[in-house]
Structure 1
């Protein structure tokens, strides 16, 4: 076995890649009821970057190991197997510190996954796909043929939302903040791609005419929230799940009051706390099947080994990306695919 290493941070600060570094650690034998897992892939999400800067809504005590989701291979089982066997591919539990070469984890917390699927694609199953799926299903009662407008359409959640909407027969107006991002969204299947600006509502109406748009999905905040709100029919809803601009959501009373626009937030961690185990299991089973059959797929900008975790964080924090940054603690780096 190679020397165990993980990405550790003892403090938080405004430059996220400055506070984290690879550290060797001593890997104990699994305790009763635990599995030793070799981590195959773990993505870097915006929430991970915000955790390092101290700006996320839920922060682990320090010192901590980075990474909230990922996928691994079972290497050793101690005690009851709970249906698992050595060599199985498993989904890691949320918040386990997945930027590590090896982990000892409770066996009953692991979810068995298909063997014949790219582990990098499976590693992103826990956060972005359910966020996209739930914003399409739990905010507004959407039917086939309805329209949704989303910004940050070139983000991972934006890509998953587009793919899920297509499967459900829902039309999507995709908004990006820079013209260089348009082509990537089109290649991902986005038929309608617009660059955000103050005249966005007019250009949306030029595309859809009088068809009502009742849901807007916002990951940017600032004035961009209002740009989306102005695209909606009276009584429509803007759901915000991020703040890529770094600014608070802004909507004038002209739209919030007189157009009866509803602004609400979505945080997956809150949904996890409230949803029943049966609903969580059903959602992950559905999404895992869609990843396995190729319906759900995220573009990968680049992957990094654990030794280059600081480069991975710096790349993930960059605004000029058209794909996901992934850490493969025990594997080779790859170019964008």
Structure 2
């Protein structure tokens, strides 16, 4: 094994890529009950960027290693294997500090994955796909044929939500903030794609008619929250799961009171705390199967080696992306695909 490296930060600040860097470190042999894992791929999520700036809702103590999810290959096992063997491809536990070439983890926390699936696609399994799946199932009861509207449709969650909704027979109106993002959503199978603006409700009606839209899924905040709310029938629900626009959610009493619009939030970490282990296991098993058979996939803009973590974070923080940024600590970087 070559000298391990990890992407470490000792402070937080407004320019996220300036606070993190790749450093060498000493990795001891696995302790009893642990496995040494070589990390194959780990995405850079918006939550990772917000963690570096200090704006996320849950911050690890400093110093810390970046990265909340990923996939790796088991290189060594000490003690009880919990069904693992050396060479297995495994899903890393959430919050483990996945931007690293190697790490030791409790074997019982590792989930075995298929060998014949792109590890980059598997590396995004624990955050964005379950967020999309749960917002389609746990906010309001949706049936095949129902309609939802989402903004940030070109984001990773937006792409997974579109794919899952299509599988469940749910119709999606997709909203983006720039015209250059429209084609990427069309390429994922989005039939109705609109650029956000004040007249969004009128253009939604022009595009799909007077359908009953009961759920709006918001990742932008600001006035964009209200744009979605105005597309809903009275009594509809807007669920917010992010603030890509940088502003608090705005919703006039005209819609909150007189249209009985409900505004609520969703944070996957809260769901993890409350969900029964068997439900978590069933959800991940379902989603892993859908990634394995190609039903679920995310567009990758670029990937970076561990030595280029700063460039990776800077690219992920850019607002003009049409794909995911991924770190491949033990592999070559790739161009957009």
Shorter-chain TM-score category? over 0.9
Cross-structure match for 2:178: 178
Cross-structure match for 2:136: 136
3-state SS, counterpart of residue 41 of structure 1 = strand
TM-score calculated relative to the size of structure 2: 1.00
- Displacement of 1:207 in angstroms is 2.1
Cross-structure match for 1:280: 280
Looking at structure 2, the residues matched to 64 and 239 of structure 1 have their Cα atoms a distance apart, in angstroms, of 31
Cross-structure match for 1:251: 251
Cross-structure match for 2:318: 318
TM-score calculated relative to the size of structure 1: 1.00
Per-residue deviation, residues 188-244 of structure 1 (Å, max 9, x unmatched): 111000000000000111122222000000000000000000000000000000000
Alignment of 1:19-58 (within 5 A): 19-58=19-58
Looking at structure 1, the residues matched to 211 and 224 of structure 2 have their Cα atoms a distance apart, in angstroms, of 22
- Displacement of 1:60 in angstroms is 0.2
Cross-structure match for 1:152: 152
Looking at structure 1, the residues matched to 219 and 298 of structure 2 have their Cα atoms a distance apart, in angstroms, of 17
3-state SS, counterpart of residue 193 of structure 1 = strand
Looking at structure 1, the residues matched to 278 and 336 of structure 2 have their Cα atoms a distance apart, in angstroms, of 36
Alignment of 1:211-226 (within 5 A): 211-226=211-226
Looking at structure 2, the residues matched to 52 and 333 of structure 1 have their Cα atoms a distance apart, in angstroms, of 22
Looking at structure 1, the residues matched to 334 and 294 of structure 2 have their Cα atoms a distance apart, in angstroms, of 20
Is the counterpart of residue 102 in structure 1 residue 102 in structure 2? yes
Cross-structure match for 2:120: 120
Matched length? 337
Cross-structure match for 1:264: 264
Looking at structure 2, the residues matched to 234 and 64 of structure 1 have their Cα atoms a distance apart, in angstroms, of 46
Looking at structure 1, the residues matched to 314 and 211 of structure 2 have their Cα atoms a distance apart, in angstroms, of 42
Per-residue deviation, residues 55-94 of structure 1 (Å, max 9, x unmatched): 0000000000000000000000000000000000000000
Cross-structure match for 1:187: 187
Q: Could you list the runs of 5+ residues in structure 1 that have no partner in the other structure?
A: none
CA RMSD of aligned residues (A): 0.4
Q: Could you list the runs of 5+ residues in structure 2 that have no partner in the other structure?
A: none
3-state SS, counterpart of residue 214 of structure 1 = strand
3-state SS, counterpart of residue 68 of structure 1 = coil
Cross-structure match for 1:237: 237
Cross-structure match for 1:299: 299
3-state SS, counterpart of residue 259 of structure 2 = coil
Per-residue deviation, residues 221-272 of structure 1 (Å, max 9, x unmatched): 0000000000000000000000000000000000000000000000000000
Looking at structure 1, the residues matched to 50 and 129 of structure 2 have their Cα atoms a distance apart, in angstroms, of 19
After TM superposition, the runs of 4+ consecutive aligned structure 1 residues lying more than 4 A away are none
